Amino acid sequence: MDDELNALRRARMRWNTPLSEPHADLLLDRMGLAEGHLADLGCGWGELLLRAVERTPGLRGTGVDNDVTSLERGRAAVERRGLASRVELTEADAATWDGPAERAFCVGAAHAFGSTKAALDRLARVVPSGRLLYGDGFWAVPPSDAAAEILGPGLLTLPDLLDAVDDAGWRVLHLSTADQLEWDDFESTSRAGWEEWLAGHSADPRAGEVREWLDQRLREYVRDYRGVLGFTYLVLGR
């Protein structure tokens, strides 16, 4: 897809994770934010990072991602919300960013490090002493062959994920999971930008490909991984 459609696809998403506003507020509360440095590795457009900085005097933020389209959206929001002196969004590989930081987010970005275990180990170097908000998918129930093929071999069960947390030297300070409404909203908003575009551009040469993607995504979600794929939010301490 071209840059225009890439930008539109996530246009209706608040953030690229199944997370409600109240749940996000709870997680930010649990992070114990204070003045210092907060890094968001795999930040996307950085909405959660911006909200953390807005609510915390003296906190500065660094977001790291290699998705140029998402970073452009985030930088526009930084300027619009008057945060340019406190937030920097950097185009880089999240897995190679060294830190250190007193606080960090890594939500839905374990793939950038290669695996859940590799992410947790690396993040322990980024936050040698402090708190990490770590968000990751897990198998809520045993997957079908179709679900396993769609989502790949790297997912763990929640108990196995917690074992990886322990092995990396983290303590679990808070654990919560996305509920079904959060998942349904996430999946719906991930399609909404293109659905809106398609409604007004049915004769566009790109319309067939967009329609095919939208139809396949909805089928796979409902038939293969709705209620099977979970997502957990862990506030971890060291």
> Could you report the per-residue pLDDT of 84-117, keeping only the tens digit for each?
999 999 999 999 998 899 999 999 999 999 999 9
Collapsing DSSP states into helix, strand and coil, what is residue 232?
A: strand
Tell me how crowded residue 111 is: count the other CB atoms within 10 A of its CB.
17
Which residue type is seen at 48?
A: L
Interval 138-161 mean pLDDT: 95
Q: Indicate if the pLDDT at residue 187 is higher than 90.
A: yes
pLDDT of residue 1: 72
Q: Indicate if the pLDDT at residue 153 is higher than 80.
A: yes
Q: Is 52 left (phi over 0), alpha (psi -120 to 50) or beta?
A: alpha
Instruction: Assign 6 a pLDDT band (cuts: 50, 70, 90).
Output: confident
Whose tokens are 């004769």? That residue is 203
Share of the chain above pLDDT 90, in %: 95
Mean pLDDT of the chain: 96
pLDDT of residue 2: 78
pLDDT of residue 88: 98
Interval 137-163 mean pLDDT: 96
Share of the chain above pLDDT 70, in %: 100
pLDDT of residue 99: 80
- Kindly report the CATH class assigned to 3-181+223-237: alpha beta
pLDDT of residue 4: 85
The per-residue pLDDT for range 58-75, each reduced to its tens digit, is 999 999 999 999 999 999
Helix orientation angle between 47-54 and 21-30, rounded to the nearest 10 degrees: 60
Q: Indicate if the pLDDT at residue 3 is higher than 90.
A: no
pLDDT of residue 98: 85
Tell me how crowded residue 37 is: count the other CB atoms within 10 A of its CB.
15
Say what the pTM is: 0.95
- Which of 166, 114, 148, 118 is closest to 229 using CA atoms? 148
Instruction: Assign 161 a pLDDT band (cuts: 50, 70, 90).
Output: very high
Domain boundaries, the chain: 3-181+223-237
Q: Indicate if the pLDDT at residue 139 is higher than 90.
A: yes
